[in-house]
Amino acid sequence: MASNRIGRINEEIQKELSALIRNLKDPRVQNTMISITRVETTPDLRWAKVYASFLQEDRAADAIKGLKSASGYLRRELGHALKLRYTPELQWTLDDSITYGAKMLALINSLDTGEDSDEESDEG
């Protein structure tokens, strides 16, 4: 029962943070396309680990620093929006799963399947 509640809270935090990030004035965050991919909250709602993915990988480190510096503001706004007893402390983590997936897809596509060599040996 509690895991369903935590799951719903995680989704709400993800949705609210995605909306709040668009309003940040920090140029490190404004000049980067940021996607909140996942949120994991502890059962006592004291900590939330926020996974963020970035379109421009070269700006990811600066954007994470900008998000960490804006954590106080984001936490306060999150508390107003969600009306929870405790608003979790935000921990920002770089999520490279999209980049990893793209690299794996490129590797799979670059493999030689050997189908062409089988067809040539059948013809001869």
pLDDT in tens, the chain (124 residues): 467 888 999 999 999 999 999 888 888 888 888 889 999 999 988 999 999 988 888 888 888 999 999 999 999 999 889 888 888 999 999 888 777 888 888 889 888 766 655 555 555 5
> Does residue 121 lie in a domain region?
no
> Does residue 123 lie in a domain region?
no
Count up the domains in the chain and report the number. Answer: 1
For residue 52, the cross-strand partners are 36, 94
CATH number at 45 reads 3.30.300.20
CB-based burial, 2-15: b 16+ in 10 Å, e otherwise: eeeeeeebbeebbe
Output the pTM of the full model: 0.76
Judge whether 50 and 93 are in contact, CB under 8 Å: yes
> Does residue 34 lie in a domain region?
yes
Domain that holds residue 29: 2-110
